[in-house]
Amino acid sequence: MSSNYAAELNVALLAVQRATQLTKSVFHQNAKGTLNKSDASPVTIGDFGAQALIISALQANFPNDEIVAEEEAKDLRENGKMKDLVWSLVQDAKLSDQGAEQTLGGTINGANKMLDIIDKGDSKGGSSGRIWAIDPIDGTKGFLRGGQYAVCLALMVDGDVKVGVLGCPNLPVSDSEPLREGIGADASDEEGKFGVLFSAVQGQGAQSRPLSKGGLAEAKTINMAPISNVSDATFCESVEAGHSSQGDAANIAQKLGITKPSVRMDSQAKYASIARGAGDLYLRLPVRKDYVEKIWDHAAGDLIVREAGGQVTDVEGQRLNFRLGRTLKENKGVIAAPKDVHSHVIQAVKEVLSAKQ
DSSP 276-338: TTS--EEEE--SSTT---BGGGTHHHHHHHHHTTEEEE-TTSPPP-TTSSSB-TT--SEEEEE
Q: Is 47 a catalytic residue?
A: yes
Task: List CB contacts of 8: < 8 A, sequence separation 6 or more.
Answer: 1, 62, 155, 162, 163
pLDDT score, position 57 = 98
Cβ atoms 197, 221 nearer than 8 A: no
What's the pLDDT band for 30 if we cut at 50, 70, 90?
Answer: low
pLDDT score, position 39 = 44
How far the first Cα of the chain sits from its last, in Å, is 50
pLDDT score, position 192 = 76
pTM over 0.85: yes
Least confident of 47-56, 59-68, 174-183, 191-200: 174-183
Segment 341-354 shows an average pLDDT of: 96
Please name the helix (run of DSSP H) or strand (run of DSSP E) that holds residue 91, with its range, or none: helix 80-92
pLDDT tens for each residue of 312-335? 999 999 999 999 999 999 999 999
The answer to whether the annotation marks 137 as part of a ligand binding site is yes
Cβ atoms 249, 341 nearer than 8 A: no
Q: Is 186 a catalytic residue?
A: no
When comparing pLDDT for 290 and 192, which is higher?
290
Segment 118-130 shows an average pLDDT of: 98
Active-site residue among 23, 47, 119, 234?
A: 47
Task: List CB contacts of 355: < 8 A, sequence separation 6 or more.
Answer: none
The answer to whether the annotation marks 297 as part of a ligand binding site is yes
What's the pLDDT band for 229 if we cut at 50, 70, 90?
Answer: very high
pLDDT score, position 38 = 46
Express as a percent the part of the chain with pLDDT over 70.
93
Instruction: Report d(CA 104, CA 15) in Å as an integer.
Output: 7
Half-sphere exposure in the Cβ direction for 178 (13 Å, CA): 6
Structural domains of the chain in order of their starting residue, each with its CATH number: 6-222 (3.30.540.10), 230-356 (3.40.190.80)
What's the pLDDT band for 31 if we cut at 50, 70, 90?
Answer: low
pLDDT score, position 328 = 98
35 three-class SS:
strand
Cβ atoms 136, 151 nearer than 8 A: yes
Active-site residue among 23, 44, 103, 140?
A: 140
The answer to whether the annotation marks 138 as part of a ligand binding site is yes
The answer to whether the annotation marks 84 as part of a ligand binding site is no
The answer to whether the annotation marks 351 as part of a ligand binding site is no
pLDDT score, position 224 = 97
Name the average pLDDT for the chain: 91
pLDDT score, position 41 = 43
pLDDT tens for each residue of 249-296? 999 999 999 999 999 999 999 999 999 999 999 999 988 888 999 999
